Amino acid sequence: MKYNKEEKYILDALERGDMKLSSPSRKEIESIKTAASNTFKKDKRITIRLYDHDFMGIQKKAMEMGIPYQTLISGIIHRYIEGDLKIKTG
C-alpha cells in the first residue's frame, strides 16, 4: 500500500512507540457509526439510458467482480466524484 507523507509519518511514529492508540469515546463511536451509515445510504433513484454495448460491458464486469451491475455503476460514479477516476484528455 502506498502512503502519503502524513500517513507515513503517523505510521512510523506508531511503530516507534512515539504514538499510542486510544479507545474512542461513546460519543465518537456514535459519530463514526452515523457517518458510516450515511456513507452507504443511497437515497436517490435515477434513470439513465446507455448504449446496449456499454450496458452489456457493465454487466460482464460486474459479474466478473461478483457484484450487481447497479453497485458497479454507483461505485464508478462515486469514485469519479471523489476524484479517484479521471477523464483522459487528448
Helix axes 52-65, 69-81, angle to 10 degrees: 100
**Is the pLDDT at 80 greater than 80, yes or no?**
yes
Could you tell me the CA-to-CA distances from 6 to 20, 59, 83, 85 in Å, in that order?
Answer: 16, 39, 19, 22
pLDDT tens column, 33-73? 888 887 777 778 899 999 999 999 999 999 999 999 998 99
Q: Which amino acid is at 47?
A: T
Amino acid at 35: A
Which pTM value belongs to this model? 0.54
Buried b (16+ CB within 10 A) or exposed e, 60-81: eebeeeeeebeebbeeeeeeee
